[in-house]
Each structure stands twice: as structure tokens, then as C-alpha cells.
Structure 1
């Protein structure tokens, strides 16, 4: 999913202002976009008087370390460190940036490569550059990678808020403020929606390479295992590369069409929704129709609504996560914490967006029924399982 143009241009400005000068090709590589895109952004920023262009390079109109006229002083800077190529967090970044800029703070974005421990050197560099506070979303592809970061996170001496991350209870950085989606509630929404449509046999296809994925696996196991109307359920991996810690059972590594037939499942919950779109395409190639033969609920709702059919999805409050995290950080920076300095762990509830990929299995009517407040109507027709 493409990030907003204004966010990309803010990243260009931050990079050039931090260095004084930068090559266009280097900026394109750093932002993982085309050189043509960066040139177009630089031209617009130059017209606005915010950058100066040279032959293949771009310069800041003010010396390094000095603020642009009318802008916040260089010391009023908050560093935001998130994984590169993580479209889920784009809305979160936008929400955080809006709050910070309205408060007159500079938003310095750092993108961590896809490697364990990549966030620490970025944080150290940001602190050396004078960052007063941190918003962090470490990648944490495995529990071991998460635990390896605990010591340096606990030693941070500036206000820090974790976004969509929560260290395990009793760990050293558990004392950091955090803002998360309540993924247990999101799992509950998915299961209750399918059970309410008459589905009794469900496959949960999840990733296993992030804190969210591990939380969802635990939540689905707890909810489905205790639900009186769920007759049978099992696991699958939503993508071959999504499992990092294995080993996995034969069911978890099985092809989804075969697993649906084995379990007699009429529904599947898929995390994340990019994987969900690809799995729905694979099901179609195998002759499994969505939602006629199998109802599908995606989790994340980044691109689920763009699929064919549009996918019913659990939508965590991504933008609100960023806004609340930034507000918590501001309160720490301004010494306005209303809880006397107590650590705050905020959980925000996801929503269920009902679209065309789920259907009641005992209703022969093929006409979709509208659902007020949803992106599209509920499609509630009969389904069968091979």
C-alpha cells in the first residue's frame, strides 16, 4: 500500500535537513521509491521554497541544526522508528505525525531494515541527533528477537511509547508506555461473526512472524476452543515464509483447499489481509468460491476492501493508535501525565467491516442484504463444502 504523498515528502525534508545535502538517487533508495517519484517531490518542495535543487542533489535552505523560519527549534524533535515495508503502520504514522506537528514538534522518521536488532542503531543515532522522545514499533519477527531488545529498551532515558507492541509481563521494558489494538477482541469479532452466520467448522490461517500474529494465534485458540458452537477448528500458516519459530504440525503446513476439505470447514479467518487476498485467488484457482463455498474474514483491513470480492475484515484502529501514542508521548514530554508518572497501557478496540466475502450457510436467498455503516452489504447466501 502506497504511503501518502505528504508523508513521503516529509521524510525527504527530514533526511535533507538532517544532512544538509543529499543525492536524489540515495533518497530514492532510502525511501524505496523510484528516482522519478523523488524528483517530482523535490520539484514541488523546491517550488514551496523548502528545498534547493542542484544537479542530481538536493540541499536544505538552512544550515544543519537550524530550524526553518517559523518552524520548531531543532531540539523539539521526536524520533519515530518503524519497520520498512510495513504498510499496516502507514495510517499509524500519519495519525502520530498530525498530533506531533500540531504541538510544534519535528517528526523524524526512521525505517528499520528487515533484520533482527535493526532498530537499536537507529534509536541511538536519533538520540545523538537530539531526539527528545521516541515512538517505536520494533519488527520482532520472533520471540527471541523481541527478548534480545529488552535490555536496551529498558535503559532508554527519554520518554518512549511502544506502538502495537507490548513486551511480555515481567520483562524489563514492560514499564514502557504502550498503545495497542486489542487483538483478542478482534479475534472475538471474527469468530462471533462467522458463528452467527451458522459456521461451525473454521480454519484459522495466521502468520507467526510478529507480535500481532502470535497474539492472534493465542486468542483464536482460546476463543474457538471454548466456544460452545464451534465444532471443529484447526491452524494453517497464511504464507510459507510467515512461520519463523516452528516446528509446525502437518495441518498448519497443509495447502488450504485440502485442509478445508479435511476439516469440512465452511469458513476461514486469514491474517494479514494481503495474504488473505492471495489465498482467495488461490482458492478460486482450486474451484473454491468465496463466499459460496467458503466465507472469508481477513485481519488488518489494509487492502481487504479492494479485493474481489471485497473481504469482510477486522480493522484495528491504526490511525488512532498513532494519535493516542503521540498524545501519551507529549504528556510525558510536557510533564503532564495525569497518573503521577504511572505507566499506561492503552488498548483500543478493532471494528468488524462486513463486506461480500462472508455468507450465511443456511440461507438459500442469493440476494445480498444491506448493512448500515459497513463499506458494502452483507452477502448472505447458501454455501457448500467439497
Structure 2
């Protein structure tokens, strides 16, 4: 929208408070602030939702892979051939064997349910979710036959055992006796603790070399599953179709969507719902712009009539008031984007401060899954939010601008 010199001058004049126009300016300032808060809230919430999904995806998939080939009855015989053929599928980047079994663990008179995972030593050291998040101890001391394990940091707190301490794993697969099966109890030394940032994992995981896990569970040379990673997780269906003939008769293939379908679907529904609900804040804000412009038109009726008699066109008057309204909306959007960026940068500090003031735990990892408030800003979403706010601001100016352009100077100035 191109304004000539006099239109720009009048628009600038109407944006600034004149004598007796303080109330109109106050309403316009409130409108600007409302738009800013609406845009900031939408950017903050969408970024946090995106960050929550991304963090969960990275941490869950980092430990569980993009797909698993699960053997029937928890045993996958001939896994070497399955893994080798899986690696040859286009798009598959790795296929690694795993042993995973829920058991009981005890230490210092305490008992907790745990998830024992056996991995090859090189896979443990190369897994960033584990190797990059060691809290204490030495993950490199895990070697086959060493009777050493690494456990989640919260599990270590629950059992009261740390690197150098002992932990006993209780497996129901024990030896048979005349009075029944006696559970198998094996003691291990805790070599390291790690914290991946997902509460359920940090509270349950016990990681050991795969050979020790096979001995503990009496699997022989079998494994429980083969973990598969692909180059494009969102397009994993092609790899699943190629893997199914490979494992037919030996097990089933499950991808990351199926393993965590309820969680990710709930996040997606909540993300869409939050976008719609928070968009209403911007809608309410632009109603303030509408009301402030209507008040401005009413206050400037005489000025508009004089301008019309001096040759101002209807189109010019519309452009002036549309520019005023869009400028208020644009300034609100810019301020909202700045507020959103500042809040996201200091988000964890803000959460910690509120917790300190209120004495409430606002971010309980046992409920939120993650140990810290995440954030991931999507430029496409931010652009959509800005365009939505601009569009609503523009639409809110049309009626007041039309009323201003429709002013009849003869009627207004008849008794002047």
C-alpha cells in the first residue's frame, strides 16, 4: 500500500496523541500490547510444543531406534543374518542386536523394577544418548565378563547405589528344584550412572554388555531384538516393507510410530488445539484495534470532512486509516516476537524463578517425561503466526476505514 506525502503525514499525525485524544491513544496502546502478548504466547507455546516433541523423539529414538525386529517369545534366533540383510535395505543406516528384559533389582535393602538392556560394548560407547550423558563413573569400564553395569541416575538415587556399589538383578528364569523354580540372582558392580533426560528411562534402565545379558537371561547366542535406524524416520514405511519378508517366521517389525503412537498422537492433537485456542487471543486483540479506529474516526469526523473538501479522495482516506491500524498491529507483532524470543531464551530461568516464588514444582520430570522445559522454534510456524496476525489486523481496519471514506462533508460541515 503506497501512500503519498500528505497521506503519510496525516497517518503519522493520527498515530500520535493529540489534544484531548489521550483516551484514544490509550486504547490504541492497549491494542498494541494485546497483539504483542497474543503473538508472544503463540510463539512461546508452539516452540515449547515443538521442542517437547523433538526432545522426546531424539531421546526415545536414540535408545529404541526407528524400528525394532522383535523375536517371538523374546528370542530372535539367527539374528546375525537378520541384521546383515537389514543393513542391505536402502535407507537403513544401522542394525544392531539388543537384549531387553524387565526384571527386579535390589540394593541396600531396596527393591525397584528395572529394564535390563544388553548392548554390544561398541554400541554402548557410540550411543550418544548414553555416552554423552554420563553423570558419574566410567562407561568405558563396561566389558564382557566384568560384571559391571551402568544405571540411570534416578534409579541410582532410588536404590542408594552409585559407581563402586553393588546391585543385584533378580530374574525369574532360574534353576528348577523339587519345590519349583528358584529365581536367578546375580550381583553386579555399578560402573557408571547416566541421565538421558527422560524420567522413565533414567528411573529404570540398567545397561550391560550383551554377552552378560545373554548369560543372565540364559539366552545362549540368541538376542531379544534387532534395532534398526534409517536415514529418514518420517518415511520409514519403505524400509518396513522391505524388512517384513526378512523376518517372516522369526518375529515382527515395529516402527517408532507404533511403539509411541499414543504419546506422539496426543502431542500432535494438543499442538493443533493450542494453536487454535491461542489464535483467539490475537483475534481479541485485533477487536481492540477495531474499536480504537472507530473511536478515532468519530473523533476526526470534522477533520475528515475538511480533507474531503480540500480534494482528498475516498481511496486516500481508506489508505490512511488502514495504515494506522496495520501499523499498530505490526508494532505489536514485532514487540510480541521480541518478547517471545526473550522468554524462550530464559525459559528455564523463568520456570525456576516461579517455582522458587510459589514453592511448587511446576516441572516434575515424573509427569513431564523430560527433566527441563524444551524449546524448538520453527521459522515456518513463526512466519504463519506473523502473517495471521497481520491479516487479522488488516481485516480489522476495513470497517473503520470504510466509514471514514464514506463521510459526507456536506452533512458534517453544514452548520460550521
Task: Looking at secondary structure, tell me which structure has more helix per residue.
Answer: 2
- TM-score strictly above 0.5: no
**TM-score scaled by structure 2?**
0.24
**TM-score scaled by structure 1?**
0.26
Larger relative contact order, structure 1 or 2 (CA cutoff 8 Å, min sep 6): 2
